[in-house]
Structure 1
Amino acid sequence: MSKVSTNQPLGTPTWIELGVPDLDRAKAFYRALFGWEYEERSAATGSFTLCLLRGQRVAALRPVTVTAVDAVADVEGESWWHVHLATDDCDRTAKEIAVRGGTVLVPPADVADLGRTAVVEDPTGARFSLWQGRTLAGCELVNEPCALVRNDLACPDPGPARRFYATVFDFTLDGNDDLPGFDFTFLRRPDGHEIGGIFGDPAAPASRWQTVFEVADTDELVALAVAAGGTAGAPEDAPYGRMAAITDPFGTSFSVITRPSPAS
């Protein structure tokens, strides 16, 4: 378990949100999976719902129409949890992204009193946001069941992505001996902390930042997801735990993992 109360270092995945066409149905689905409760908020950019785990803010939902042009949503009808990377200066990092071959889709703006954000796209087309925390540093609980545990970028051409993130966020790039035969590179901050990775997959239809939630029991979570109106792949044992792919009632894809206990 990790509680977060201060802003994370540059480039750390720090916040996630999801746009949904039916907010009530989304709240019911994610409550069934993760036991989340909710807090309604509003800002100049519109209303949104904070997702709470034991009273701590761990994500956000916001209403969108299926026909809306939405810079946060992914293209071609796909839906993914949208990751925010930490920065202590949203405006400066957004300018750096534009200089390094990325695109600023929505310029920096304040989100109520919570923080400052911008929506951007890397040179491979993967969208993410920046988050400069104010009263909200980001996810207040991570690395525990029913909370965010990991984000990785999957893309058909990983070379430009690796150069971009290493340059903008000063990440180092390390190979992964645990996944022989896979084109996977760890992303590490200058302090050595692993923030995620980039997975080269020639069969991927587009570049996407993917989200993984930790759960206490992957098999049980799969059953809960199906009962709540979603779909799920069969659980599989992976090098880092037991995983399954989940799709919510609106077609949003994410993964869950039960990691081995430290004693195992």
Structure 2
Amino acid sequence: MPAFEGKDGMPFWQDLTTTNLLKSTNFYRELFGWEIVDGIARKEGLPVAGLVSAQADGWVTSFLGDADVDKYGGKVLSADETITLCEDPSGGLFGLKDPEERFVAAGEPGVPVWYELVTTDQATIDFYGDLFDWEIREEDGYFLAFEDGAPFLGMYVGAGAAWVSYFGVEDLAAACKTVEELGGTVEVGPGEGPFGFMAGITDPNGAQCFLVEVETPEFEDINEADSVL
């Protein structure tokens, strides 16, 4: 699985906070084919996500780089050597990470294919645009952030305040069946959505995300030592 180099302000990582680490580990290992060791999930050897024991269940999206969160109306809640946990003006959680290795897998089965913010007001959308210096374009009330002319996440005003991860799966029908067999719930779909054939799910502990059917890319023979950039 080739990796792509992330840039400052780009979504880079996702942590699952879970009240039952063992149950979550089994669920996502079976659903996405992740290898999960010591709370780090990998797909074909590449780190994809973290799983952390906590008092609440949910996904937290982290962005690359450092940023002056307080300056633009957000709050820094905690910081350690791996992540700075922050809160946006609407109360949504997000993280900042500045690792030495900035390579990330994306757009394939078992890894993120899209990120989306639902927030209570447009001021929070403006907060992220200012914080990360994003180019933002609005299309019928949906706000897209662009990098080099390509959108990499979406935002809209709705109920609640949270970042949502969309993960690729090769066979959506089979994935939804696996979700239910493992104690999760298919809340939305499966059906056609703005990003293709997709479904919204809740894992056995209550954390929510979306699944999107994507094709497994085929690559010409590549020497593992060669850069994919």
For residue 81 of structure 1, give the secondary structure of its aligned residue in structure 2: strand
How many residue pairs are counted as aligned between the two chains? 216
Question: Contact 2:164–2:209 at 8 Å: present in 1 too?
Answer: yes
Question: Contact 2:18–2:58 at 8 Å: present in 1 too?
Answer: no
Are residue 86 (structure 1) and residue 74 (structure 2) matched?
Answer: no
Matches within 5 A, 1:35-184: 35-40=33-38, 49-64=39-54, 66=55, 79-87=57-65, 90=66, 93=67, 96-107=68-79, 109-111=80-82, 117-134=83-100, 136-137=101-102, 140-157=104-121, 159-176=122-139, 182-184=140-142
- CA deviation profile, 1:167-209 (whole Å, cap 9, x unmatched): 1111122123xxxxx52110124x33422111122xx1x2111
- Residue identity matched to 1:63: S
Question: Contact 2:108–2:216 at 8 Å: present in 1 too?
Answer: no
Deviation at 1:53, TM superposition (A): 1.0
For residue 22 of structure 2, give the secondary structure of its aligned residue in structure 1: helix
- Residue identity matched to 1:175: E
The equivalent residue for 1:212 is: 166
Deviation at 1:60, TM superposition (A): 0.9
Separation in 1 of the partners of 2:50 and 2:129?
Answer: 28
Question: Contact 1:80–1:210 at 8 Å: present in 2 too?
Answer: no
Question: Would you identify which runs of 4 or more consecutive aligned residues in structure 1 move more than 6 Å?
Answer: none
- Residue identity matched to 1:84: S
Are residue 3 (structure 1) and residue 14 (structure 2) matched?
Answer: no
TM-score by length of structure 1 reads 0.76
Question: Contact 1:2–1:143 at 8 Å: present in 2 too?
Answer: no
- Residue identity matched to 1:55: G
Separation in 2 of the partners of 1:101 and 1:245?
Answer: 31
CA RMSD of aligned residues (A): 1.9
Separation in 2 of the partners of 1:174 and 1:227?
Answer: 40
Question: Any gaps of 5 or more consecutive residues in structure 1?
Answer: 41-48, 67-72, 74-78, 112-116, 177-181
Separation in 2 of the partners of 1:21 and 1:207?
Answer: 20
